Structures are given as C-alpha cells and as structure tokens.
Amino acid sequence: MAAFSKEDKQLIEDNFQELLDVSKRSSTKEQHELIEKAFNLANRAHNNMRRKSGEPYILHPIAVARTATHEIGLGTKSIVAALLHDVVEDTDITVEDINLQFGEKIASIVDGLTKISGVLVNKTTMQAENFRKVLMTMSEDLRVIFIKLADRLHNMRTLDSMPPNKQLKIAGETLFIYAPLAHRLGLYAIKVELEDLCLKYLHPNDYIAISDKIKESEKKRLTYINRFALPITKRLNAEGFEFEISGRPKSIYSVWNKMDSKNVTIEEIYDLFAIRIIFEPKPEMPEKTQCWNIYSIITDMYLPRPDRIRDWVSQPKTNGYEALHATVMGPNGKWVEVQVRSKRMNEIAERGYAAHWKYKGINQQESELDRWIKEIREMLEDPKSDAFEFLDDFKMNLFSSEIMVFTPKGDIYTLPAKATALDFAFYIHSEIGFQSIGANVNHKLVSLNQELKSGDQIEILTSPKHEPEANWMEFVTTAKAKSKLKNRFRDNRKLLAEQGKIHLEYLLVELGMQPNSNIFRKLYNHYKTRNKEKLYYKIGEDKFNKEEFKKILDKRSKSKWIKFWSIESKKTKSASKKFDKTKLLVVDDSTDNYKIARCCNPIPGDDVIGYRKSDDEFVIHSSSCLNAIKLNSSESDKVVKVEWTIHKILAFLGRIKLKGIDAVGIVNDVTTVISKELNVNMRAINVESHDGIFEGVIDVYVHNVNDLNNLIMNLGKVKGISQVYRQEIQDESIQ
C-alpha cells in the first residue's frame, strides 16, 4: 500500500478545512474541537487507504460529513458520526472505542451506519438485512438515515471508478430505495440528484441526449421566463414584498420518466416552463395569507388553469412540504407553473424533515412523519417477516402521491393515492381491518375494495365474527395493511399445519403404522413438495380420510436407479457452468440458455440485463423494467449486463400503438405497410373508433429493434395517422 504523498496530505487538509467552513451549526470552540478529534481518529484509521478512484479514502467521510451539514443542515454530532461512519467496518476501531471517546449517542449513530459483517445464511438477503438494520436505528434517531443518504449521494457522485456490474447494482438499489426515501423525508434536492445520477448509469444514452437538449434550450427558456416574470416582479415590488424569483428547470430524470411513461418526445415535455417565488414574510400577516395574495397578483395578469391549483399551505404534505402551486397561461400561449413559498417553506422543501428541528412549533407536521416512522418500526420488529418481504412493504410506504380523507367525526387522515376502504380500516386500527365487512363512503354503502378520493368521508362497518379473506391481498395498497394481513394469514397457515400434523398422526395410528421415510416420500410426491411444514399444511387443508390415505400409500414410485441417475445428471450439468457476474453475457442466435421476461418483453437492440434464475438459465429483462430495478437492488449478485446481438433466425413479439383520424381504408393502408415489411409478421390487430378518432394496437413478430423502428417510421407516413409508437407488453410478475 503506497504511503500518502505530500500532495495527498495537503488535499486532505484542504477538504477538512472546507468542511469546517461550511459547518455553520458548529460554531463554538468545543464543537470544533470535537469535530477535529473525530477527523484525527478517522484520518489515522484510514491512513494510506485509497478508494477505487485512487484518491485518499478519508476524503469520502469528509464529503459525507460536508453533505450532512451543508446540504441537509445537521449539527455537530452528525458531522462527527459521518467522519467515523466507516472506521468500525474497515479498521480495528470498535463501537465501544467510539462510545468511550465520543459518548453513547454518537456511538449509536455510527453503529446504525455500520454494515452487517460476517456471512448470513442466505447471502442474497445481505442487502435487505443491512437496510433493515439501518432503518431500525433510524426509527430511534433520524440522523442515521440522513447520514446514510449523504453517504449514498457521495457514492453515486463518484461511481465512475466502479466496474459496470457494480454501477448497475448501486444505481438500481439507489433508484429503488434511496431516492424514494429522500423524497419521503422531504430532501428534494438530494432526491433529484440521486435520480439524475441513476439515469446516467442505467440509461447513459438517454441521459446524454436529454442533458444536451436541456443545455441547448436553456438560453431560450431563460429569455421566456424573464419576459414572464417581469410584470410580476414590478407588482410584488410595488406591494412591498421581499422576494426572489427564479426559473425552475426540470430534472433530467423527470423529463426521461415523462417521455417513457407518456410516450412523448422531449419537445412535448420541455415545452413546459416553471418559476419559483420565495418571499420573506411580513410579520403582521400569516404566511398562508401572503401566499394567496401573491397568487392573486399573478392571476390578475395571467389566466389560471383551474384544475392545476395545488394548495399545500392549508394542508401540507406528510413530509412537511408546504407551497402553493398554480399553472397559468403565459405569453405566446405557453403554460407556466408557478410555485409560491416563504423562506421557511423553501428550506423545509429543500432540506426536508431536518429543517423541522429549526422551526419546531410553527406547525404540527412532525406528528405525521412520526406516525410513519412508528409504522416502519412495527414492520421492523415483526419477527415473522423475512428481509425481502420487509423491503417490498417498506418500498410501498415511500408513496409520493397522497389523498386526504375524513372520519365521520371530521378527523383527517393522509393515505397514499389509490388506497381502498380496507386500507383506511387498517390505518385506523388492525382489529378494525380484520373485522371489516363493508364501508359507507360519503354516506353510500360500498365494498371494501372501493378506491378512495381526496375529501371522502369514510365509516367502516365491522363484525366481530368476521375473518380476513384471502382475496384482500389483491386490493390493499398500504404497507401496514399488507403486513398485518400477511401475519394473520401466516398464523392461520401455521395453525392449519399443526392440525395437519395431528391428522396425519391420527390416521397412522388408525392404520397401525409408524411414520417412516417411505410414507413421507409418497406424501411428498403426492403434494409435490419437499418441505415438511408445507406438507402438514396441505394435509390440514385436505383432511383426507383413511381410504384416500391408503390410495396415496399404494402408489408405486419411480425406481431408485432412475431417480438417482436424474439427480446425478442435474448435478453434473449445473457443476459444469460457473457464473461470473463481472463478465458481460453475450446472447446471440446460438445461445439457448435464456428466456424473455414476460413483465417487459424486450427484443434484441433494447438495453437489457440478465438475471440468473438457475445455474444454466438466464432471464432477459429490459433495464428500465421495474422488476429489473428491483432485482438489481435486492439480488444484484445474480444480475449481469447483457450484450444482445442482432437476431435473424428468431422472431420476438413487439407491440405498436396507433392513433389518428378515422378515414375510409386506413386499416387497409396500415396492414399493407406491415405486409410489405420483409422482416415483420403480424400476430394480432385491434382497432377501435369513436367520435371520428381511431386507436389501434398491433402485435408483430420482429427480429430486432431496428425492424420495429423501421415499421413505426413507415406507419407514421400513412395519411391520417397522428401518433405511432412502441408500447411495452407487460405482465406484472417477475420471471
């Protein structure tokens, strides 16, 4: 290990001095001494250690500490914990050592940030278990997750030095968990940067194209914004407001996401403009009133769009976000979104829950987030849930869209969009959820799967004799409801398994038999399982009688030689291949150990990844597929980057969506174009017409993306067709 040079040491010193300069909340001599003490310990512990990029390792904890204090607004203890966050994992220093030198609170934060060491029984759960441990500490001290987010942000900022497979894994995990978590905690600036960096590594070509387009249009956008803002600036000055007004550019990821989800071009997305007005509130008037006064000034000049008013000053979001949003018609017929915030609201919008400590007592929003953290803690403390189930449930809790509903007494509750009446029942209390039989929504009787809307008033109808039904899992959306139902069904399953075991023992006694391996083998074969608990559960469900039991036992098995040979041949086959996740998987016409994921149905030429389902089979997913992102996050050791070369032998299913004017013969024109394409065969066509407009979906077999793009281009030339684009063929299950 090469010793640090004089330049390395100077670089470390300069970075640490910058950290001290931006640590505004750590201004006393004692606070500075504590930070220097932590830096000196970390610097000695990481001495001569380097990151993959070659830079001194200590620059990473310094950068994390800088983000924690400068970008999130945390104080001295957080800076100290950030500086020390890797010493326990990477050096000989222990949590006990930190406790002795810095106290119990800092030691507790560092312990929460320390990754799980050792080898778990199931290696694929390491990431989920590690995340679970961090969140357990988070529920006691939110600084843990703030520092964890700062750590992840610096890792993403320096991801260039990592190999491609690591880049995919870290970016996928970040997009799946950390960006939504930053959003849920109100850290808007960090959430946006994380999403943009994820796109840079997951879809590099799209990232570059959108980034270049934004830079090209920046001058034009600023000119328009200045023209729009000039009359507003004059009026606000005349009214005596102290304010800042600025353009709000869209993030690269948000542009890409809208293009991807709405199948539109960047020009259609980026034709939208936005400004933000941040004002210093006048002491004699409430902030809320001043927000509406500014809104009134703007709408005196520009016509508002009634369906695009968002009032988060009267009822802030659960992450504390407060602002007034409106969309108005600007010059040249362009829609402009206007956000109005006070300086306090803006700091909370950028720094999230961390900023609430500064403004404690101004509003009551801590209670909403505290309730969310309490729910997370309940999920964490559940001894029955495994790591992956927890990860799924937690992910559902990071909802972005919210609705507000009322009880019959007028109490208000915030739920995720698309929540059902049953979700509301579980939100009130678990037992109310379990005993639900129906609901009155706005005084009208509805079923439990009724989707709720903002402003609904809900009364849950219950019966103490009612038990939850299996199909409830299909329509509940909140993590709490899913978690409680899973536990109840798991308990019921365990009870049924115990009854099955007792029933089997009873039948054996009736027949005068002793349990042995031959009996269990025949039962395993009958129920197609090799798990005793599942076997007992199946028996508990069936409750077969003595005659049926005798028939199962009378069945003849395959010969031992055939079964032995089958097992041995499978072992030989699987042992012959060794998976190397660092290597690119090349798929061409001669490859036969893969299949196409039904959740996204990619075709050659798409940006894809491979998921190793077994030793000799891969599943090909589109990189943008939600299931691919989830697999990258939770089972990255089985994910590999794929190079899918052009296929000319095999054909793959693609789907095209059409829209246009319903003219005579247009369907015939479309099918003629398809029949003329040499590399395309049509599988199905479905066309619907209403009010002079037709919409169609065509499924075709193609060899690769080029074939599909050529067909789309030719269909776009047909007179009367206004829109034609590729549509993904989706199935929600992971393949």
Tell me the mean pLDDT per 10 residues along the chain, length 735.
Answer: 83 93 85 93 91 90 93 89 90 90 90 52 46 57 84 93 86 84 82 94 90 84 90 94 86 86 70 84 91 94 88 81 90 89 87 58 49 61 54 54 79 83 92 91 88 88 86 86 85 84 82 78 77 79 75 61 42 46 67 79 85 79 82 78 72 86 80 78 82 83 85 87 82 42
Residues 193 and 234 in one domain: no
Helix axes 104-113, 76-83, angle to 10 degrees: 50
Q: How many CB atoms lie within 10 A of CB 686?
A: 9
Q: Is 699 labeled as catalytic in the residue annotation?
A: no
Helix axes 626-634, 164-173, angle to 10 degrees: 110
Question: Does residue 545 sit in helix, strand or coil?
Answer: coil
Cβ–Cβ < 8 Å for 56, 4: yes
Q: What is the CATH number of the domain that holds 34?
A: 1.10.3210.10
Strand order in the sheet with 652-661: 681-690, 693-702, 652-661, 721-726
Q: What is the CATH number of the domain that holds 238?
A: 3.30.460.10
Cβ–Cβ < 8 Å for 549, 511: yes
Q: What's the confidence (pLDDT) of residue 576?
A: 41
Name the nearest CA neighbour of 355 among 112, 152, 69: 69
Q: How far apart are CA 510 and CA 550, in angstroms?
A: 11
Q: How far apart are CA 243 and CA 233, in angstroms?
A: 9
Residue 190 lies in a domain: yes
Q: What is the CATH number of the domain that holds 443?
A: 3.10.20.30
The one-letter code for the residue type at 290 is Q
Residues 419 and 310 in one domain: no
Q: How far apart are CA 714 and CA 694, in angstroms?
A: 18
Q: How far apart are CA 31 and CA 286, in angstroms?
A: 36
Contacts of 25 (CB under 8 A, 6+ apart): 69, 73, 74, 75, 76
Place of tokens 């001194």: 56
Active-site position among 8, 18, 36, 90: 90
The one-letter code for the residue type at 735 is Q
Residues 718 and 598 in one domain: no
Question: Does residue 697 sit in helix, strand or coil?
Answer: strand
Domain end (from 516, 538, 557): 557
Residues 552 and 684 in one domain: no
Q: What's the confidence (pLDDT) of residue 559?
A: 43
Q: How far is CA 694 from CA 218, 711, 716, 731, in A?
A: 37, 19, 14, 25
Name the nearest CA neighbour of 485 among 468, 501, 499, 502: 468
Cβ–Cβ < 8 Å for 68, 60: no
Report how far Cα 552 is from the mean position of its chain's Cα atoms. Answer: 47
Name the nearest CA neighbour of 732 among 597, 549, 569, 564: 597
Q: What is the CATH number of the domain that holds 683?
A: 3.30.70.260
Q: What's the confidence (pLDDT) of residue 644?
A: 77
Q: How far apart are CA 477 and CA 393, in angstroms?
A: 10
Residues 199 and 218 in one domain: no
Name the nearest CA neighbour of 146 among 38, 73, 88: 73
DSSP 55: S
Residues 448 and 303 in one domain: no
Q: How far apart are CA 484 and CA 426, in angstroms?
A: 8
Residue 312 lies in a domain: yes
C-alpha gyration radius of the chain: 30
Cβ–Cβ < 8 Å for 211, 204: no
Give the H/E segment covering residue 570: helix 560-575
Name the nearest CA neighbour of 344 among 279, 277, 274: 279
Residues 163 and 232 in one domain: no
Domain end (from 524, 540, 557): 557
Residues 40 and 136 in one domain: yes
Q: How far is CA 186 from CA 121, 262, 318, 348, in A?
A: 36, 26, 9, 7
Residue 46 lies in a domain: yes
Cβ–Cβ < 8 Å for 614, 158: no
Q: How far apart are CA 440 and CA 272, in angstroms?
A: 41
Report how far Cα 591 is from the mean position of its chain's Cα atoms. Answer: 33
Residue 380 lies in a domain: no
The one-letter code for the residue type at 661 is I
Q: What's the confidence (pLDDT) of residue 233?
A: 95
DSSP 176: I
Name the nearest CA neighbour of 623 among 646, 600, 604, 644: 600
Q: How far apart are CA 656 and CA 677, in angstroms?
A: 14
Q: Return the exposure string of 4-39: e unless at least 16 CB atoms fall within 10 Å of the residue's CB, then b.
A: beeebeebbeebbeebeeebeebeeeebeebbeebb
If one counts the domains in the chain, the total is 6
Report how far Cα 562 is from the mean position of its chain's Cα atoms. Answer: 47
Domain that holds residue 140: 6-204
Q: How far apart are CA 420 and CA 151, in angstroms?
A: 37
Domain end (from 418, 437, 468): 468
DSSP string, 690-711: ETTEEEEEEEEEESSHHHHHHH
DSSP 606: B
Residues 540 and 510 in one domain: yes
Q: What's the confidence (pLDDT) of residue 36?
A: 94
Report how far Cα 326 is from the mean position of its chain's Cα atoms. Answer: 28
Cβ–Cβ < 8 Å for 454, 442: no
Residue 735 lies in a domain: no
Which backbone phi and psi does 161 adopt, to 5 degrees? -80, -5
Residue 421 lies in a domain: yes
CA dihedral 461→467→473→479, nearest 10 degrees, is 70
Q: What's the confidence (pLDDT) of residue 259?
A: 83
Q: What's the confidence (pLDDT) of residue 121?
A: 33
**How long, in residues, is the chain?**
735
Residues 542 and 583 in one domain: no
Residue 474 lies in a domain: no
Residues 230 and 191 in one domain: no
Q: What's the confidence (pLDDT) of residue 241?
A: 93
Q: How far apart are CA 379 and CA 434, in angstroms?
A: 17
Name the nearest CA neighbour of 372 among 385, 353, 355: 353
Residue 700 lies in a domain: yes
Residues 242 and 277 in one domain: yes
Q: Is 89 labeled as catalytic in the residue annotation?
A: yes
Active-site position among 21, 89, 381, 431: 89
Name the nearest CA neighbour of 248 among 229, 268, 267: 229
Place of tokens 């950290």: 19
Name the nearest CA neighbour of 190 among 150, 163, 223: 150
